[in-house]
Every structure is written in C-alpha cells, then in structure tokens.
Amino acid sequence: MIEVVIDDRCGGCGACVDVCPSDVLARGPGGKAVIARQADCQTCYLCELYCPEDALFVWPETDRVAGVTAQQALATGDVGGFRRDSGWDEHAATHTNQHWRMGAIFERARLMAIDAADTARTEDGRTS
C-alpha cells in the first residue's frame, strides 16, 4: 500500500496523481501530492515509476496500513529502486530492459525440473 509521500522531495508535478489507476492520490495545498484514498491503493508501485523525484514509497503489504514514515522508507534503501531497476529516465543507460530474457529463464526452470525428476527416479531405482 502507498505509505508516504516524502514531502521535501515532491516537486508537485502531479504525474502520480494522474497515473494512479485507482485514483488514490490528490494534489494538496501547494500542489504537492497527498494520499487521499489510501484504502483504494492496489500496491502496484506504478506511481513510483512515474515520479522523477523518487518521492513516493509503497510498502508491499496489501491488507493493512503499516504506518511507514519517510525516515523508515529511506532506511530500506529501496526508495526509487523500482524506477532505477526499470531503467527509466536517468537510469536508462545503466539499467537496460532485460525482460526479453523471460522466455529463456522459464525454459531453464523447465529443464531443471526434468533433470531433478530424472535424478529422483534414478535414486528410487537404486534404493528399491
């Protein structure tokens, strides 16, 4: 669930307010983002992706408000981590999109499972 807008980072661009698919955020006094309907948050992290200032922090738990403060968020070391790993904006050169490897990774898992099953069968044969 979205837990905190780090006020001194928010530049008031309004991007997160526009892109939130559940309309959780609103513009507060001075134009900065505020969490208006926290219970509607679906924990999709997409607001973070669209925030150029890394001013938003989503906590992974979906069912409760954890009460994370700005300091606690920063202490995780992962504020802005989603945007960085996604290679958006200034991270484009250092964090390229490797999503296309997904098919090969699934294939590795499939072959490992076949291997494991073969090994198990061989071991069964020895013990019986």
Q: Please report, as ranges, the residues that interact with other proteins according to CB under 8 A.
A: 18-23, 40, 42-46, 49-50, 58-63, 76-78, 81-82, 85-87, 95-103, 105-106, 108-110, 112-113, 116-117
Query: Judged by CB, which is closer to other proteins: 9, or 95?
Result: 95
Cα torsion at 72, 74, 78, 82 (round to 10°)?
110
Least CB distance from residue 2 to other proteins, whole Å? 12
Task: Report residue 41: phi and psi, to 5°.
Answer: -65, 135
Beta carbon nearer to other proteins, 12 or 42: 42
Question: Rounded to whole angstroms, how far apart are CA atoms 88 and 110?
Answer: 31
* H helix and E strand count, the chain: 5, 4
Assigned token pair, 112: 């490992």
To the nearest whole angstrom, how small is the minimum distance from the Cβ of residue 43 to other proteins? Answer: 5
* Cα gap 95→82, rounded to integer Å: 11
Smallest separation, CB 120 to other proteins (Å): 9
Smaller CB distance to other proteins: residue 46 or 70? 46
